[in-house]
Chain A
Amino acid sequence: MTKVIFIDHDGNNHQINATQGDSLMEVAISNNIPGIDADCGGLCACGTCHVFVEPNWLSKVGERSEMEDSMLEYTESVKSNSRLSCQIKISEELEGLTVQLPEEQY
């Protein structure tokens, strides 16, 4: 298990023990973290699992793919540390990963 932390838009921390190999989006959904819709179910095709990765974690979660870039382009409030959580795979290296949730998914 790997510890990850979601900070929702109201500032509440949700600390979760995540299964390695799952996507960060799946971790959020299976633990009922508020603020993740994940309409497409993890296929990088809708942009509704948008999170902001804490800057010190950015290099560890890897780079956005071209498709992810395209989907994020249409997402409101996109920032340089925006990622789609369905594209982040939980691994040992991500112990302590912290992400913030946007006000709304779009």
Chain B
Amino acid sequence: MKEESFFEKENSIPDPWDLPLETFDVSKAEIFESNLHGEYFRRLRKESPVHYCPDSQFGPFWSITKFHDIVAIDSDHKRFSSDTNIVIGDAEPELVTPMFIAMDQPKHDVQRKAVQPVVAPTQLSELEVIIRQRVGNILDDLPENEEFNWVELVSKELTTQMLATLFDFPFEDRHLLPYWSDVATTSETVGIEVDMNKRQEVLQECLAYFSKLWHQRAAEPRKFDFISMFAHGEDTKDMINDPMEFLGNLILLIVGGNDTTRNSISAGVVELNRNPKEYEKLMSDSSLIPNMVSEIIRYQTPLGHMRRTALEDVEFKGHTIRKGDKVVMWYVSGNRDEEVIENPDAFIIDRNKARHHLSFGFGIHRCMGNRVGEMQLRILWEEILKRFDRIEMMGEPQRVLSNFVMGYSNVPVRVHKK
């Protein structure tokens, strides 16, 4: 599977098979932007599945790259902490925004439970009608006979509308949500050079906007949106008094409901175009959609990693992980683990056991909005099949620069109506 010429010719990223394992570093965001990470992780899974990188721009870190090892660490929340930082880079202490994904028990539990009902399955049937209507409107408004960016007009628009509903956010200002989401994920902590103080200024605007909403919601009876649930939650009603923690949880819910589904929506178009036989299968049998949705989420792995910090020395697979060490679980690698997933590099929409993937994480921090994300993708593809013979990709998609968000900024397409 080695594609030697590709690495040297196309870019400055070295061929991973030529590098010494002692200093092997998978954390550079450019590797992911160039879509060359697959070969890097193939080498680690084969030769050093629990790997210690002694030095990187994020300092030393462990890489966990095989499926079952990732599940083991992810489930072991007593020894592998999520406290404060859950991506590879540490935020500067004054810029830390506490959020429940980056907390341990018991605080994590009470905050998560306060808002989880908004996206729990029983709530979803009510949302399904609204989503289907909106998907229909978005698809009906797409330009015909001209090329456009699928990410902007569909992926981003649909997830933004959904998020506005979950927050009961003023619909006319909804474009602020993906803007804040992108600002939040454009961070030094995931390998992107950026002015972190400017980033913080924009996020303060986000905080100011939401603080107003909080006070409105707190003065009204409780209802099923994230802000109202926090404002009326017994254990969360004082969160407004800790602005950084309020901001942190806002970022969590905005990014969680935005980037992930957005990039899965884009990835579906990309992979179906790269795999025409799979597109044929889909066109001839729409009942494959739910299974395809899981396969898209596995194949794309919208969030490439999560990071833990060891709370004590741990013997793991013949290695000693020391107290305080960073441990990075590379979901994007585990989802290609040859020993767990058959023919893992292939995109197969009717794959057996497609739900058995790592993209939502496992253990107590498992994705809270997984069913909302799956539902949006399912409805989108049901409505696409009603309207279009083909969403045709017109050129190579542009990936984003990050070792965390596995996404696309541009997927040029043309739609062919029925």
B215 at the interface (CB under 8 A from A): no
**Which residues of B352-382 are within 8 A (CB) of A?**
353, 355-357, 360, 362-364, 366, 368, 371
Closest to B356 in A: A41
| Stretch among B58-66, B109-117, B248-256 lining the A interface | B109-117
The contact of B364 among A38, A39, A74, A104, by CB within 8 Å, is A74
Are B113 and A74 closer than 8 Å at their CB atoms? yes
B75 at the interface (CB under 8 A from A): yes
With A47-B366, A74-B366, A106-B120 as known contacts, state yes or no: A67 contacts B355, CB within 8 Å. Answer: no
Are B71 and A40 closer than 8 Å at their CB atoms? yes
Residues of B within 8 A of A47 (CB): 366
Residues of A within 8 A of B116 (CB): 74
Residues of B within 8 A of A103 (CB): 121-122
A70 at the interface (CB under 8 A from B): yes
Are B121 and A104 closer than 8 Å at their CB atoms? yes
Q: How many angstroms between the C-alpha atoms of A74 and B120 in the bound complex?
A: 10
Closest to B75 in A: A45
Closest to B77 in A: A70
Interface code B116-134, partner A: CB below 8 Å = 1, 0 otherwise? 1000111000000000000
The contact of A39 among B113, B121, B355, B363, by CB within 8 Å, is B355
Q: How many angstroms between the C-alpha atoms of A103 and B125 in the bound complex?
A: 12
Q: How many angstroms between the C-alpha atoms of A7 and B112 in the bound complex?
A: 31
The contact of A43 among B113, B360, B362, by CB within 8 Å, is B362
Residues of A within 8 A of B363 (CB): 45, 70-71
Cβ of A49 to closest chain B Cβ, rounded Å: 11
What's the count of A-B pairs with C-beta under 8 Å?
A: 55
Q: How many residues of A contact B (CB 8 A)?
A: 22
Are B120 and A44 closer than 8 Å at their CB atoms? no
Are B364 and A70 closer than 8 Å at their CB atoms? yes
Main secondary structure of the interface of B (DSSP, over half): loop
Are B113 and A106 closer than 8 Å at their CB atoms? no
B74 at the interface (CB under 8 A from A): yes
Q: How many angstroms between the C-alpha atoms of A17 and B74 in the bound complex?
A: 34
Q: How many angstroms between the C-alpha atoms of A61 and B356 in the bound complex?
A: 26
Interface code A50-73, partner B: CB below 8 Å = 1, 0 otherwise? 000000000000000001001101
Are A106 and B371 closer than 8 Å at their CB atoms? yes
Cβ of B375 to closest chain A Cβ, rounded Å: 11
Q: How many angstroms between the C-alpha atoms of A73 and B116 in the bound complex?
A: 11
Residues of B within 8 A of A46 (CB): 360, 362, 366
Residues of B within 8 A of A43 (CB): 68, 71, 75, 362
A8 at the interface (CB under 8 A from B): no
Are B112 and A45 closer than 8 Å at their CB atoms? no
Are A39 and B109 closer than 8 Å at their CB atoms? no
Closest to A106 in B: B121
With A39-B356, A40-B71 as known contacts, state yes or no: A45 contacts B362, CB within 8 Å. Answer: yes
Residues of A within 8 A of B112 (CB): 74
Q: How many angstroms between the C-alpha atoms of A105 and B366 in the bound complex?
A: 14
Residue positions of A touching B, CB distance < 8 A? 37-41, 43-48, 67, 70-71, 73-74, 76-77, 103-106
Residue positions of B touching A, CB distance < 8 A? 68, 71, 74-75, 77, 105, 109, 112-113, 116, 120-122, 353, 355-357, 360, 362-364, 366, 368, 371
